[in-house]
Structure 1
């Protein structure tokens, strides 16, 4: 009898594992959209509760209104900005492939050679010989891959499908969130109290990471855009979004964007605009960096900046653009679970 029960158990586990793997394979093509819906559901749950409270507990309508607010405030503006970025990227690629680009680059090379030669006379420094092949390869790569980016990543059908999956998943997560949480607690082998503590801490971590990343990127991207407009720098949307994303990279931040722009302005727009943008980046954006980032990220899980940097890079490799949020979020959840394992160990020792 015991052997028969063991055989039945092993057979059931085999079926369960196979079906679980197949289920993951079915959902894997939409994993980014589903994960984004989970994050948005947790981040905007207070707004959903506000609608539900004022609508006399009408969860379906409250979910729809919450989704509309999310799309109006986040998805649609980001789509418009992304479209502008594509146009600006195309213009940059076309200008780099234009006939005048070689003359412009040649002028830059000459100025840099003269600047280095004034500090290191007789060194025989020739920047063109070092960067010519690299620049040519980068320009050619941008040009060859631009059609791929516009035809696949920016596919209208793909965007509509992803938006639909996010919306429908978000609708049911908001509407049936409490029931979904009760189901997780029911199927979890842990004690119910420990399950609730884990869910509460994970929810707080997601809120801290997502809201911190969004608010910091929005403010610093906006300050960058204002500075670029003041000093008449082209392609404002592209550089502002890049600055907002770079602001989430510790140790580098918006300097990753400002340094090449200031160098560009120094050789094309004059010394005074370049110095003005340098002062703006150091004082205004830098001050916001020193105040906002510690304030918001101190409310979440304490993680070393090097690990945050690696999580951002790894997230980009795994999830694409969403990796800027998903990478640090996954790492924060991991450290939260490490902290929570003490609760589990304490519970086991007490029993």
Structure 2
């Protein structure tokens, strides 16, 4: 009786201490998450450096981290800096009145007056609709521009989290094998189940990040290119926004280029509008339809609808990190239920299988 009470008390205190520790780490959740992601994604590179340089953990971890910085992190920082610059510039233009959405709306009314006539015939208040559209454009432009401005103003906080991420990623790369064994000993699961779940965690994390990031980078690059080719303003800004939105399956970058095409058509630039529609549908849309099932759905072994719902749910609950966390939770959900169905069947079902 005393031993059981002592065990329960210890487990209770263990839960409290663990909860307090997780709460303490909560401000650095994003940095910790991406450090783990770097260690998982670049494990093959670390294995290559180990074969090249031998068993020298510090050197191979530094080499892997340097490789990651060169091909992923530094280009991402360059694009982010360009995004902030263009976002701040757009915000200043809106504040100074250099960009006037009312002038755009007036030009649309002059170019396609039959639209206004048709709407009036259905009893639509054109002036009210115009004001709402202007307010929506103003608020949307200010939102994106203010977001970029906030990123620029939070530079110190960003570099603190960036430093924590790199520091932790080094130790995860160096001591990853030991930490994995330690986690395996702490989790009360059989060796087979532990290997299955850890393997699923690594597989989904690697597939989701690589697949979504590659798709986002390609679509953002193509979107920014077509905006630049058509002489649309803030091409880098809208390219980055399209890249981020492309993390949402099915809709993604279309949330930006479709309104831009409608605007070009409305002001009379029909050729540019048609070019943008064709490019967005055939090139940008094809990238999403072809690559996402191959890079994300196939490797995670999740149906397309579950990838979509888990990505959207993750983005809503966890912000930008949710595009990985959502599918990861969904994959672990299917893995746990797969283990349950396999290992905890009713005895009569197991007997029927044995016959």
TM over 0.5: yes
Q: Is the 8 A contact 2:111 2:267 kept in 1?
A: no
The equivalences for 1:3-22 within 5 A come to: 4-22=2-20
Shift of 1:213: 0.8
In 2 relative to 1, CA 269–171 (structure 1 residues): closer, same or farther, beyond 3 Å?
farther
Which residue is equivalent to 1:300? 299
Instruction: Tell me the distance in 1 between the aligned counterparts of 2:196 and 2:346.
Output: 12
Shift of 1:134: 6.4
Q: Is the 8 A contact 1:311 1:328 kept in 2?
A: yes
Give 1:64's match in structure 2, choosing from 58, 62, 75: 62
Q: Is the 8 A contact 1:63 1:175 kept in 2?
A: yes
Which residue is equivalent to 2:322? 323
Give 1:78's match in structure 2, choosing from 76, 79, 95: 76
Instruction: Tell me the distance in 2 between the aligned counterparts of 1:111 and 1:310.
Output: 42
In 2 relative to 1, CA 62–32 (structure 1 residues): closer, same or farther, beyond 3 Å?
same
Q: Is the 8 A contact 2:297 2:303 kept in 1?
A: no
Report the TM-score when normalising by structure 2: 0.86
Instruction: Tell me the distance in 2 between the aligned counterparts of 1:274 and 1:140.
Output: 24
Instruction: Tell me the distance in 2 between the aligned counterparts of 1:133 and 1:316.
Output: 28
Shift of 1:129: 0.4
In 2 relative to 1, CA 7–293 (structure 1 residues): closer, same or farther, beyond 3 Å?
closer
In 2 relative to 1, CA 41–234 (structure 1 residues): closer, same or farther, beyond 3 Å?
same
Bigger CA drift: 201-210 or 129-138?
129-138
Instruction: Tell me the distance in 2 between the aligned counterparts of 1:219 and 1:27.
Output: 34
How many residue pairs end up in the alignment?
348
Which residue is equivalent to 1:49? 47
- Runs of 5+ consecutive residues of structure 1 not aligned to the other structure: none
The equivalences for 1:146-295 within 5 A come to: 150-151=149-150, 154-268=153-267, 270-295=269-294
String of CA shifts for 1:21-49, please: whole Å, max 9, x gaps: 11111111111111111111111110111
String of CA shifts for 1:299-327, please: whole Å, max 9, x gaps: 23344555444433433333332223333
Q: Is the 8 A contact 1:36 1:166 kept in 2?
A: yes
Q: Is the 8 A contact 1:301 1:336 kept in 2?
A: no
> Aligned Cα RMSD in Å?
3.0
Q: Is the 8 A contact 2:242 2:253 kept in 1?
A: yes
- Runs of 5+ consecutive residues of structure 2 not aligned to the other structure: none
String of CA shifts for 1:180-202, please: whole Å, max 9, x gaps: 11112222221112211222222
Instruction: Tell me the distance in 1 between the aligned counterparts of 2:144 and 2:259.
Output: 22
Q: Is the 8 A contact 1:224 1:240 kept in 2?
A: yes
Shift of 1:155: 1.7
Shift of 1:67: 1.2
In 2 relative to 1, CA 269–305 (structure 1 residues): closer, same or farther, beyond 3 Å?
farther
Q: Is the 8 A contact 1:251 1:305 kept in 2?
A: no
Aligned to 2:298, what secondary structure does the other structure show? coil
Q: Does 1:88 align with 2:86?
A: yes
Shift of 1:247: 2.3
Instruction: Tell me the distance in 1 between the aligned counterparts of 2:122 and 2:112.
Output: 10
Q: Is the 8 A contact 1:95 1:101 kept in 2?
A: no
Shift of 1:273: 1.2
Q: Is the 8 A contact 1:245 1:324 kept in 2?
A: no
Instruction: Tell me the distance in 2 between the aligned counterparts of 1:319 and 1:37.
Output: 17
